[in-house]
Amino acid sequence: MYQLEEIIWFWALAIIPVIILLFLTLQFWRYRVQNKFADKQLLNRLSPNKSIFKSVLKVLFLCLAFLCLTIALINPKIGTKLETVKREGVDIVFAVDVSKSMLAEDIAPNRLEKAKQLVTQIINNLASDRVGIIAYAGKAFPQLPITTDYASAKMFLQSMNTDMLSSQGTAINEAIKLAKTYFDDEEQTNRVLIIISDGEDHNEEASAVADEANEEGIRIFTIGVGDVKGGPIPEKRNGVVLNYKKDNQGETVITKLNEETLKSIAQEANGAYINGKNTNEVVESIREILNTMDKTEFEAKQFADFKDQFQWFLGFGIFFLLVDIFLLERKTAWLKKLNLFNENF
C-alpha cells in the first residue's frame, strides 16, 4: 500500500514537455542557421566532434532529473506493516444515480456533481464505519465493495460519470438488489443503503424491492438532488452546451426531482427522505441517524508505519543532474568508433 503526500506537485511534470519542445526548437533553429552558413560536409570538417546523440542524451538525463525531483516533492510513502484492528461501526452503501437526467443544472453545478459532493462530505464525517459504492442508471454496477479505505472511496466516486453505463434510465430497484449482495451475512452489522438520485424512476418495482431489503435488515435512506420545478438536460462538448435533450416530438425534455418516489422507497425500508439542496443539513441528518444506531464490532486490516520514500528519488534526481552537467556534447573516442549515425569524419 502506498500514499502520495503532496499530489499538487504533479503539476511540476509539465516542465518536461517544455524542455523537450525547447530542445527540438533549438535543434531546428541550429539546423537552419548552419545550412545557411555552409554545406554538411564543410560543417563536419569545421566541427568534427559535434554529436547529436550526446545532445539527446543530455536532454534525456535532464528530463529524468526533473521527473525524479518532482516525485521526491510528491513524497510517496509505502506501508510497511499490515495490522488487523478492531473497529465499531455501520456498513453503509451509497447508490449514486448516473443517468443522463443527473446532468440537469437545476442545482449547481449539476445533479451528479452535487451528489458526489454530498457523498464526499458524508464520508469525511464518518469515523469507523465501512462504505461501499454502487453506480446505477438502467442497470446497477458495483463501483467499490465494502471497505474502510475512505481515500479509495472518494477516488472511485470522483471517477463516476453519466457515460460509464450504456444502459440508460433510472432503475432504483436494480441498485437495491445489488446492494443486498454487498453486506456480509456472517458479521450481522447494521446495514444502511443511501440512495442519491433525482427520483425519476420509470420502474414500479423499487418500493417492493425496498420492502424486501428491509426484511433483510437493510435500512434505506434517500437523498433527492434537483429541483421540483425541473430543468433541461444539456448536451455538451468540451464543456460547451450545444443543445438540450429533446423527445421524439422535438420538444425539450424537462426532468424534475420526484420526491414522492424517493419518500416511498425510504418509507418501505424503515428509512427517511432528505432533500439534498443544503449539504450541511444532509451531512448533519445522516450523522444523527448513524449515531442512533448500534455499532457492531468488526475486524479491519489496514497498513501502518508508512515510511517516506522521497530520498530515493532525490538521490536519483541529483545523480541525473550531475551526469547532465558533466556530460559533454562533443564526441568522445569510443563514440567515434561506434559511429551510431553513420557519420563521415
Q: How many CB atoms are located within 10 Å of the residue 336 CB?
A: 14
Burial of 211 (0-12, 13-18, 19+ CB in 10 A): middle
Query: CB under 8 Å to 27, separation ≥6 — which residues?
Result: 52, 55
User: How wide is the angle at C-alpha 26 spanned by C-alphas 24 and 30, nearest 5°?
Assistant: 115
Cell of 345: 569524419
Q: Which residue stretches of the chain are H helix?
A: 15-37, 40-46, 52-74, 111-124, 150-158, 172-180, 206-215, 259-268, 279-291, 310-326, 333-338
Burial of 342 (0-12, 13-18, 19+ CB in 10 A): exposed
d(CA 336, CA 322): 23
d(CA 81, CA 218): 35
Cell of 145: 465493495
Mind listing the domains of the chain with CATH numbers? 2-75+309-338 (no CATH), 85-301 (3.40.50.410)
132 neighbors 144 (Cβ within 8 angstroms): yes
209 neighbors 177 (Cβ within 8 angstroms): yes
64-84 pLDDT, tens digit per residue, is: 999 999 999 988 887 666 566
Cell of 90: 455501520
Cell of 11: 503539476
pLDDT in tens, the chain (345 residues): 667 778 888 888 899 999 999 988 988 887 777 667 666 665 566 555 566 777 888 889 999 999 999 999 988 887 666 566 666 788 999 999 999 999 999 998 999 999 999 999 999 998 888 899 999 988 899 999 988 889 889 999 999 998 888 777 778 999 999 999 988 766 667 899 999 999 886 667 888 899 999 998 899 999 999 999 999 989 888 778 888 888 888 888 899 999 999 999 999 999 999 999 999 999 999 999 998 887 776 665 555 566 788 888 999 999 998 988 887 665 555 455 555 545 554
Which residue carries 570538417 as its cell?
Answer: 45
49-76 CB burial, b ≥16 within 10 A, e <16: ebbeebbeebbebbbbbbbbbbbbbbbb
d(CA 276, CA 268): 20
Cell of 153: 472511496
d(CA 292, CA 164): 36
Secondary structure class of 167 (helix, strand, coil): coil
